[in-house]
Amino acid sequence: MPYLDTNGFKALTMMPSTSVDELEVIAPGWLSAKLAAKSRWIDSRLAKRYAVPFDESNPPEAIRDWLARIVTLSAYLRRGVDATDEQFVEIQKDAEKAEQEVLEAANAETGLFELPLRSATNEHGITRGGPRSYSEASPYVWRDQQARVGREEDRNRGGTSRG
């Protein structure tokens, strides 16, 4: 589920409601799919630090604002826009700024946005995944192993014996 439905998008976007309705006629379901995809993009960027997915019935205002600003650009491009329109340049800048704000919020050192933090954070912030191998050996154990094998070969007087 996206953080905004079509009506929520209409309330927050700079795009006129009639243009949003035209888009739904031109490409039914496209706007909902785009809102869902960009909602998951925001989640993936913020997963390191914040409790995502956010409550979809009442997401933080910043999330809703970022989503509307980012999807507005895609909606205009999908519907069609006059390339010489000066307002479109501002819409592009606003979408880029929203994406930069998402990236800033994801940054643990410079992120200044108040969003619900993850409850089980460690120093790295990521708990998914992990190492796919494990070894207690120090970086120098191979030398000890090599020396032991060499001594056994000397004791056997026949080189490496397998079996």
Q: What is the pLDDT of residues 31-75, one digit of tens each?
A: 999 999 999 999 888 887 777 888 888 888 989 999 999 999 999
Within a domain: 23:
yes
The predicted-structure confidence for 82-134, as pLDDT tens digits, reads as follows 878 888 989 999 999 999 989 888 886 666 666 666 665 554 554 555 566 65
Q: How many domains does the chain have?
A: 1
Contact partners, residue 139, CB within 8 Å, separation at least 6: none
The predicted-structure confidence for 6-36, as pLDDT tens digits, reads as follows 999 999 999 999 999 999 999 999 999 999 9
Within a domain: 34:
yes
- Torsion sign, CA atoms 123, 129, 133, 134: positive
Collapsed DSSP state (helix, strand, coil) of residue 117 = strand
Within a domain: 27:
yes
| Contact between 71 and 9 (Cβ < 8 Å) | yes
Domain that holds residue 38: 6-106
Within a domain: 79:
yes
pLDDT number for residue 134: 56
Within a domain: 92:
yes
| Contact between 73 and 98 (Cβ < 8 Å) | no
